[in-house]
Amino acid sequence: EEIKVFCPATIANVSCGFDVLGLALDAVGDVMIVRKTAKKGIKITNIIGQDLPLATEKNVAGVAGLALLEKSDYSGGFEIEIDKRIKPGSGIGSSAASSSGAVWAMNELLGQPFSNLELVQFAMQGEKLASQVAHADNVAPAIYGGFTLVRSYNPLDIVSIPTPDELFATVIHPQIEIKTSDSRKILKTKLTLETGIRQWGNLGGLIAGLFQEDYELIGRSLEDHVVEPIRSILIPGFDDITSGAKQAGALGSGISGSGPSIFALSQGEVTAEKVAEAMHQTYKSIGIDFDIHVSKV
């Protein structure tokens, strides 16, 4: 018995929601085949597309799967094959796609004994392996779909947020790799009250904008005063890309996850494509290689 699943790429943080907000992309992701086996344990049989470890304990899908098996009374095991289309270190949830895809598929094959919240907890073990911190802002949208808010980590509390119909994302990936673990080390661990006020004003505004389908409010709220001023220095052409996106009609933009990808949100696919064209021209003119995607959220 086997299942083939699409494992979506995700944009974590979405500017003002560091470690709590994330969204899943409809059109960008990996494909994974998971199969039940009589032999206990998890075996990763094949990974195409990227050079990643096959050893179960070194692979995020393996580690997440082991966390699920530990809580399950199933006596057999699973084999996993991954068509890895999301580049590791690109900032669109490469590790989250693998760890959440694996546990989601296993849960289906076992007849859904676990809730989505439990699946997120298993998948977070993969994130811990990848970045040393078990953050949930990529795995939660990968499992629930759409936008999710991690209302609390302890106890884990995840809230699904509705996605307005016309919301599209444009994501550009300059061809450099930034490890999440490295880009977390450079962050400040303390905030001033003034910065906190600006940040939670925007986070509340963004959530309200999503509920009310108020695209202008969504755009106004896409600001990050905590992480972006520090991390954007690592990303070539960041200011040019974001100002060009805005001129091309984007609602707003920011760093995708821990970077280096930059995302923009737009109302409608036509605008999202115009934003892609503007981003394309910016990187072309400064001589940076890139991948670019437009996707429904």
Close Cβ partners of 158 (under 8 Å, ≥ 6 residues apart): 116, 117, 120, 136, 140, 144, 148, 149, 150, 151
Scanning 38-46, 98-106, 117-125, 133-141 for contacts with ligand HSE by CB under 6 A, the matching segment is 133-141
- Among the listed residues 10, 127, 148, 242, the single catalytic one is 127
Q: By CB under 6 A, name the one of 3, 19, 43, 176 that touches ligand HSE.
A: 19
Using CB under 6 A as the binding rule, the residues of this chain from 176 to 205 that contact ligand HSE are: 180, 184
Number of helical H runs and strand E runs in the chain: 10, 10
Q: Report the nearest approach of ligand HSE to the CB of residue 283 (Å).
A: 21
Percent helix, strand, coil in the chain, to 5, is 40, 25, 30
Helix axes 94-109, 60-70, angle to 10 degrees: 40
Q: How far, in whole angstroms, is CA 90 from its chain's centroid?
A: 10
Q: By CB under 6 A, name the one of 5, 7, 12, 120 that touches ligand HSE.
A: 12
Q: Determine if 98 is a binding residue for ligand HSE (CB under 6 A).
A: no
Q: How far apart are CA 16 and CA 20, in angstroms?
A: 9
Scanning 72-80, 105-113, 131-139, 233-241 for contacts with ligand HSE by CB under 6 A, the matching segment is 131-139
> How many of the chain's residues bind ligand HSE (CB under 6 A)?
11
Q: Determine if 135 is a binding residue for ligand HSE (CB under 6 A).
A: yes
Scanning 81-89, 115-123, 132-140, 275-283 for contacts with ligand HSE by CB under 6 A, the matching segment is 132-140
3-state secondary structure of 13: coil
Active site residue 127: yes
Q: In the Cβ-directed half-sphere of 286, how many Cα atoms lie within 13 Å?
A: 15
Q: Determine if 137 is a binding residue for ligand HSE (CB under 6 A).
A: yes
- Among the listed residues 10, 180, 271, 282, the single catalytic one is 180
124 vs 278, beta carbon nearer ligand HSE = 124
Is the CB of residue 274 less than 8 Å from the CB of residue 247? no
Q: Report the nearest approach of ligand HSE to the CB of residue 292 (Å).
A: 19
Q: By CB under 6 A, name the one of 99, 107, 202, 258 that touches ligand HSE.
A: 258
- Reference 179, options 267, 296, 274, 95; nearest CA is 95
138 vs 242, beta carbon nearer ligand HSE = 138
- Amino acid letter, residue 210: L
Q: By CB under 6 A, name the one of 210, 257, 263, 294 that touches ligand HSE.
A: 257
Q: Determine if 25 is a binding residue for ligand HSE (CB under 6 A).
A: no
278 vs 297, beta carbon nearer ligand HSE = 297
* Residue indicated by tokens 């944009």: 11
Q: How far apart are CA 112 and CA 70, in angstroms?
A: 15
Q: Determine if 90 is a binding residue for ligand HSE (CB under 6 A).
A: no
| DSSP letter assigned to residue 116 | H
- Report which secondary-structure segment, H or E, holds 153: strand 147-153
- Reference 170, options 241, 228, 101; nearest CA is 241
179 vs 198, beta carbon nearer ligand HSE = 179
Phi, psi (5° rounding) for residue 74?
-70, 130
Scanning 11-19, 161-169, 235-243, 285-293 for contacts with ligand HSE by CB under 6 A, the matching segment is 11-19
Q: Catalytic residues, which ones?
A: 127, 180
What residues line the site for ligand HSE (CB under 6 A)?
Answer: 12-13, 18-19, 135, 137-138, 180, 184, 257-258
